[in-house]
């Protein structure tokens, strides 16, 4: 018959040793954890040992376990603080373009040297915004440009599905690129570009004629 004061129970065994972790309800309605180890003996009997941790001490148990595991994980490092661990985690996350020298990052490069100094891949990367854990936005932009041979006119003909077939390009990033392309095409007629007239020179007579 199941013990009515056991609210939850877990157990495991290894090499003749049995462990029981029971979450129990005491007579005063407070809860506690009972950890029991039962070792089988040569005569077939069992030797049991138990320890109880009551609910008012749960926070200390969790704190001790956390400290114990942290000390074991960093036993070769002295005086490791939580701030040190946080700093290491931040360094691990800083990769890609953020790990580049400031003057090489597209945004900083544009601010420092102007948009004319930017490569097509860098400009496209700024529209894309971000890459993936394994590829920077500049690398992704480079792959896209390589697919059209670096031809921006062919790039402007690409549709949503064409961009999305590249890993790391979702709908949101593609829409940003398509919007920029559309603005460029709408702006072009407003430039009032005058066709360049070619001048043909006759070397014999020294006569110059304009070819429309």
Q: SS3 sequence, 53-113? A: EEHHHHHHHHHHHHHHHHHHHCCCCCCCCHHHHHHHHHHHHCCHHHHCCHHHCHHHHHHHH
**27-59 b/e with 16+ CB inside 10 Å = b?**
eeeeebbbeeebeeeeeeeeeeeeeeeeeeeee
Structure token pair of residue 180: 């920029």
Structure tokens at 144: 């896209």
Containing 46, the helix (H) or strand (E) segment is strand 46-54
Using CA atoms, how far apart are residues 132 and 73, in angstroms rounded to an integer? 30
Q: What region, left, alpha or beta, does residue 114 occupy, with left being phi > 0 and alpha being psi -120 to 50 degrees?
A: left
3-state secondary structure of 25: strand
Confirm if 74 and 81 have CB atoms less than 8 A apart.
Answer: no
User: How much is the pLDDT for 60?
Assistant: 87
What per-residue confidence (pLDDT) applies to 93?
47
8-state DSSP, 166: S
- pTM for the whole thing? 0.44
pLDDT at position 163: 92
**How many CB atoms sit inside 10 A of residue 3's CB?**
9
Mean pLDDT in consecutive groups of 10 residues from the start of the chain, 212 residues: 72 84 88 90 86 89 83 66 61 53 68 85 88 83 93 91 90 92 85 55 48 48
Triad 179, 184, 190: Cα angle to 5°: 135
pLDDT of residue 211: 46
């Amino acid at each position: 018959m199941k013990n009515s004061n056991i609210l939850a129970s877990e157990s495991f065994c290894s090499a003749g040793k049995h462990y029981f972790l029971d979450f129990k309800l005491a007579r005063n309605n407070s809860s506690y954890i009972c950890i029991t180890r039962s070792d089988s003996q040569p005569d077939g009997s069992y030797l049991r040992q138990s320890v109880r941790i009551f609910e008012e001490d749960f926070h200390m148990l969790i704190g001790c376990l956390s400290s114990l595991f942290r000390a074991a994980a960093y036993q070769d490092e002295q005086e490791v603080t939580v701030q040190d661990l946080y700093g290491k985690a931040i360094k691990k996350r800083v990769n890609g373009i953020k790990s580049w020298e400031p003057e090489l990052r597209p945004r900083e490069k544009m601010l420092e040297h102007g948009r004319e100094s930017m490569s097509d891949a860098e400009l496209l990367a700024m529209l894309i915004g971000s890459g993936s854990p394994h590829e920077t936005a500049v690398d992704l932009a480079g792959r896209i440009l390589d697919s059209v041979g670096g031809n921006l006119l062919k790039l402007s003909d690409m549709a949503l599905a064409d961009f999305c077939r590249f890993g790391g390009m979702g709908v949101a990033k593609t829409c940003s690129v398509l919007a920029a392309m559309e603005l460029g095409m709408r702006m072009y007629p407003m430039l009032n570009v005058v066709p360049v007239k070619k001048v043909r020179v006759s070397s014999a007579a020294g006569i110059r004629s304009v070819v429309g």
